[in-house]
Structure formats: C-alpha cells, structure tokens
Amino acid sequence: MISDLIQQEEQTETTKSQVDSFFDLLEERVLDVNPYCRSRIFQVYLRLLKYNSFPLLLVTISLPTKFPKRRQRICELCVRSLEDKSSHVRRNVIKLLTKLISTHPFALLHGGQLSYPEWHERLEALMVQIDNLQPPSDAPGLSESDKMTDNPDGENTEFSAGTHRGEPTSSEPSSNPTTTGDDLMKLQLTKRYYTEALKFIESLHEASETISQLLASKNKSEVLESMDFFVVADAYKLATAKVC
C-alpha cells in the first residue's frame, strides 16, 4: 500500500499524511514483543527498496516531504536492532542495511562512494564558499535607507557593508562577486545534501562495529549476511569495511 501511494503522480497532502501514518505504524511495530513481527517489519522495508519505490522520492533533496528523514530513521532503527536477541531479526536487519547502502540517494554528486573524509572535506569547502559570499543586493536590511547612518555632527554618512569606521568608501568592485538569492539557495541545498550524507555514513560506521562482531555468530545465515554487508560496504569505500 505504501508503494502504491508513493508511486502516485500527484502527491497531495492527504497522500503524504497517509504515507507518514503507515511509516509511523511500521516504526511502532519494530518494538513489538514478537520477534517474528519485528523481522517482518524489516522485510517490508527491504521490499520497498527492492521495488525502487522508496528511494525514488529521496533522490531530490529539495522535495518538501519527510522521506529523507524517514530513510535516515530506518537506518538508525537498523543500528539499534542489530542488538536484537533474535538472530532472524538481526539477519534481516543486516540485509536491509546492505540494501540501504546500494540504493543510497547520495550518488547525484561526486559519484556514489561513501568515504567519510571526502564528504567532510566537501562540506568544509562549501562552508568556506558560503562564508565568502556577499549577500544579494536585494536582501532585506540592505536598502539605501539602511546604508545611511547619522554621525555626531548630524550629517549622514553612507558606507557599504564591511567598511570599517573612519575608512573612505571605495567605488571599486569587491573581489567577491555578489551572489543572488537563487545561488545562495542552491548552496544551502547542497549543504543539506552533504550533511545528510555524513549522517548516513556515521550511522553505517556505527552499524559496522556491531556487524563485525556478528561475523563470529553461530548462525550461518547471519554470518553470510554480515560478509555480504562488508563486501558492499567496501565497494562503496566505507572506511569501516576494513575492520575485518
């Protein structure tokens, strides 16, 4: 039912509310006392990923829905459920984490690798770029009336933003070009994109520590799923894939 609702061309508020309600119900059932129920919940998530319906709405970071947050929430639930007492639950959780890696929505920029140092470096470079930008000329608070100040002699002195007291106003253009509102919005969206990617990678690093311990499990299927996880993680350059 979730898959059908997501695939609808028109995403009305009613549709989004229904999808949110279904996801809330799934999250509640993760805490069910019955291990079979908990295991089935992760199988439902896995089925959504296999149908490619769930990540379809996650690849656009500007989409005004909660789906990117839902995906991260699912990853966090997986990390927590790796401590489940049921090996059947843990096996499905590992399988879901593997699928989350292979279908992650952060391949739009810079490829699909999940190297934490590289993503962190990109975010720092972007922050420097944002800090060096001048605000758009039509930004609130930068009108001509706001550029006039009264001096002690009662005369008005006009100065540009960034000019120190006592320095003459220069008519030369600034070395940093003035950005537009659209440019700033694009940079802010890219910043959110990088931040969400880093948060996802951090969750995977935390999960890898537990999965590495499950390699010594007595359950053969659990060990095989753990091995598959590290194979996929290594293919995406996840740093913790080298722990074993």
Phi then psi for residue 199, to 5 deg, are -65, -40
What pLDDT shows up at residue 174?
A: 47
Q: Which are the contacts of 167, defined by CB distance < 8 A and separation ≥ 6? A: none
What pLDDT shows up at residue 147?
A: 45
Rounded to the nearest angstrom, the gap between the alpha carbon of residue 105 and the centroid of all alpha carbons in its chain is 9
What pLDDT shows up at residue 57?
A: 39
**Could you tell me the residue ranges of all domains in the chain?**
2-124+181-242
Contact call for residues 119 and 201 (beta carbons, < 8 A) = yes
What pLDDT shows up at residue 148?
A: 46
Q: What DSSP line would sit under 145-182, residue for residue?
A: GGGEEE-TTS-EEE--TTPPTTPPPP-SPPSSPBPPHH
What pLDDT shows up at residue 33?
A: 92
What pLDDT shows up at residue 23?
A: 79
Instruction: Flag whether the pTM goes above 0.85.
Output: no
What pLDDT shows up at residue 154?
A: 47
What pLDDT shows up at residue 201?
A: 96
Which amino acid does the sequence have at 161? A
What pLDDT shows up at residue 230?
A: 96
Tens-digit pLDDT string for the chain (244 aa): 555 555 555 666 666 677 677 778 888 899 899 999 999 999 988 888 775 444 433 333 332 334 567 889 999 999 999 999 999 999 999 999 999 999 888 888 888 899 999 999 999 999 999 888 766 555 555 444 444 444 445 444 443 444 444 444 444 444 455 667 788 889 999 999 999 999 999 999 999 999 999 999 999 999 999 999 999 999 999 999 875 4
User: What is the C-alpha R_g of the chain?
Assistant: 25
Phi then psi for residue 148, to 5 deg, are -105, 130
What pLDDT shows up at residue 169?
A: 45
